[in-house]
Amino acid sequence: MSPTTLALTQAPGLVDLAKEFDENKVTPGVLGFLVFAVLGLAVWMLMKSLNRHIGRVDFEESPASDTGRS
């Protein structure tokens, strides 16, 4: 028995709610698109800034000293 079937048999009120649910009425809409677009723009700007900062790093490793090692 699947968990969904078990949940529906245990709670008869959920069956009525499931019958009233219309998938065509539930959409993210314009607000969902705007939030997604703003998040995408923010990630793009952060990546661009990260690449610029990483490009400015000038790291040269100092040579290892041979003091006391054989």
In this predicted structure, what is the pLDDT of residue 29?
Answer: 87
DSSP 11-25: -HHHHHHHHH--TTT
Is the pLDDT at 8 greater than 70, yes or no?
Answer: no
> 14-51 pLDDT, tens per residue?
566 667 766 677 778 899 999 999 999 999 999 999 99
pTM of the model: 0.49
Two tokens at 69?
């090692």
Is the pLDDT at 6 greater than 60, yes or no?
Answer: no
